[in-house]
Amino acid sequence: MTYILGVNAGIGIFHDPAVCLVDEHGTVLAFVEEERPRRVRHSPGVKSPALAVAHCLRTAGITPQQVDVVAVGWDEPRMSARAGSPWHFDSPRHLLGQLGFHGTRLPDMQFIAHHQAHAASAFYASDYEQAAVLVADGNGEDECISLYRARRGHPLVRVERWPQVYSLGHLYEAASEWLGLGRRGAGKVMGLAAYGTPGGEIPAPGWLRAGEHGLISALGTDPAEDYYSTHRRWRKRIVQFAGTDGPSQPAALLDQDPAAVRVAAAAQATVEQVMGWLARQARELTGIEELCIAGGVGLNCAANGRLPQPLYVPPVPHDAGVALGAAWCLAAPREPRLLSPYTGGHPGPLPKGLAGAKVHDLEVDRVAELLADGRIVGVCRGRSEVGPRALCHRSFLASPVEARMRDRMNALKRREPWRPFGPVTHLQPELWSPIGHLDRYMIGAAHLTARGREALPAVRHADGTTRPQHLRPGDEDFVTAVLEKLTADGHPPVLLNTSFNGPGEPLVETAAQALACAQRLGADALATDDALLRLSPGSEAGA
């Protein structure tokens, strides 16, 4: 057996280090982001995800000595040359040591171009035989947007690319920082933007746009511009556009600040319009209608939902996904098969001394009754999902039939009250527009129908959209059974589904973390692999 360990690690990364272990057939054995075992969201500044390496090896039941190749999702020699610094022959050995590989038998190390790794992560996770691939993020080694042609059994072929002055990621990050939401506030910016689009009108200030001769950036065309200069220049453009250095309201009230809403809507409009043009370019240049998207911009659900099908976006399109893509560049799956997101660890046992909790056998009817009664239930079952979207293995679930549940869930999670939630269902109810594969991983926005807007107020966003998850047979049997019971009892076949974490935290990974989080935040119950815990208000794990 050959083992290949893909990593988002090394000198190129700024956030979201991750590790993925595959065999020679490209089968994913384990895939986890460093933030989960480290318990620091995005793990910024961590260049060597050693905890995730150990996690993946432990999950697969192998030792470091059994790993044959480590594939890095960045071309470090190319980056060193671009920076004008020498590439040292012992650099791979140094990085291997930081990742936990020691001794006389070390794995080989190979460096994969960042956007190539992104492209591989999206295409080989899809069920397409061939596809156009669009990669859009903050930056790779020296590009921010790339287009590829992908075919099973053939190398990826890049057909176009753009330098960092065209970076949608840098622009969106600058908007997030102007709004006071920090560098990693892109999801919040997307949610806030919906408050600035009454009647479906979307403003666009022309920061980035498609012209007669291609993509045009207000920053010019200089390929030498780097992250720091483009970010600084985008920030200056946003200040000029808004007419002020920042919002006049705190984060909790940004939806009531016209300047803040206008900036968010302008950034979102830019992303949607440019991604629409890039999708058309990808299809035209490759002659292929099937489209895959990767890169951090692929997390923009609103933009994804506006693109025509057929379209596939993996559950981990952001930088963590290059761990998967780098491994697949060396051992790609030959048969089209959709990636399962459940690649992490198991919950493990509950802690001893369950103060403030009543333990019951895990029964579908009992959980369905709690949800129908307006309770919030945390779910920590099976292998954890990779990526930022909770997909019912590490989720908070609730009934979406009353608008006040949105307020209660936002309060429970200590979130801004204007932020939206998404639904999960096991059926194809006529409650929102179809969005193809995008509803597998909660990675695309859909428009609620009139019936959906009336029936599901807790997951209805300001612009009439929602971000749904559709459970297919075999995806998550327990939550499917709960949904079936609710449907049989006359309730809508839908639940509110959101991530099982508190503010600034990654998703919970273990049952012990889940219990502590649920009790700290004030959830009503917790469902684990084999137990249902009723939680007392205000209790703390181990109290």
Residue-wise pLDDT for 424-460, tens only, equals 999 988 999 999 999 999 999 999 999 999 999 999 9
Q: Count the neighbouring beta carbons within 10 Å of the beta carbon of residue 34.
A: 30
What's the burial of 490, exposed, middle or buried (CB within 10 Å: 0-12/13-18/19+)? exposed
> Is it true that the peptide bond before 473 is cis, omega within 30 degrees of 0?
no
pLDDT number for residue 238: 97
Is pTM, for the whole model, over 0.75?
yes
Q: What is the 3-state secondary structure (H, E, C) of 385-427?
A: ECCCCCCCCEEEEECCCCCHHHHHHHHHCCCCCCCCCEEEECC
Catalytic, 15? Answer yes
Evaluated on CA atoms 182, 188, 194, 195, the torsion sign reads: negative
- Cβ atoms of 30 and 344 within 8 Å: the answer is yes
Q: Kindly name the residue from 15, 437, 461, 470 that is annotated as catalytic.
A: 15
As beta bridge partners, residue 70 has: 5, 109
Residue-wise pLDDT for 116-147, tens only, equals 999 999 999 999 999 999 999 999 998 999 99
Q: What is the DSSP letter of 28?
A: E
State the DSSP string of 121-153.
HHHTTSS-SEEEEEEESS-SSS-SEEEEEEETT
What pairing do the DSSP bridges indicate for beta strands 446-447 and 465-466? antiparallel
Cα gap 26→22, rounded to integer Å: 5
As beta bridge partners, residue 495 has: 424
Cα gap 294→169, rounded to integer Å: 12
Cα gap 166→174, rounded to integer Å: 13
State the DSSP string of 262-313.
HHHHHHHHHHHHHHHHHHHHHHHHHT---EEEESGGGG-HHHHHHSPSSEE-
Cα gap 322→295, rounded to integer Å: 9
What residue ranges define each of the domains in the chain, with the CATH number in brackets?
A: 3-115+321-330 (3.30.420.40), 162-312 (3.30.420.40), 357-535 (3.90.870.20)
Q: Give me the half-sphere count of Cα atoms (radius 13 Å) on the Cβ side of residue 98.
A: 14
pLDDT per position in the chain (543 positions), as tens?
Answer: 999 999 999 988 889 999 999 999 999 999 999 999 999 999 999 999 999 999 999 999 999 999 999 999 999 988 888 777 777 656 788 899 999 999 889 999 999 999 999 999 999 999 999 999 999 999 999 899 999 999 999 999 999 999 999 999 999 999 999 999 999 999 999 999 999 876 556 667 899 999 888 999 999 999 988 889 999 999 999 999 999 999 999 999 999 999 999 999 999 999 999 999 999 999 999 999 999 999 999 999 999 999 999 999 999 999 999 999 999 999 999 999 999 999 999 999 998 877 778 899 999 999 999 999 999 999 999 999 999 999 999 999 999 999 999 999 999 999 999 999 999 999 988 999 999 999 999 999 999 999 999 999 999 999 999 999 999 999 999 999 999 999 999 999 999 999 999 999 999 999 999 999 999 999 999 999 989 999 976 444 333
pLDDT number for residue 539: 45
How large a percentage of the chain has pLDDT more than 90?
88
Cα gap 397→497, rounded to integer Å: 5
Instruction: Give every CB contact of residue 309 below 8 A, 6+ residues apart in sequence.
Output: 435, 436
- Cβ atoms of 144 and 297 within 8 Å: the answer is no
Tokens 């509950």 belong to 350
Find the radius of gyration of the CA atoms of the chain. Answer: 23
Token pair for residue 270? 């830019």
Cα gap 283→299, rounded to integer Å: 20
The terminus-to-terminus CA distance of the chain in angstroms comes to 47
Residue-wise pLDDT for 172-197, tens only, equals 999 999 999 999 999 999 999 999 87
The torsion angles phi and psi of 234, rounded to 5 degrees, stand at: -65, -40
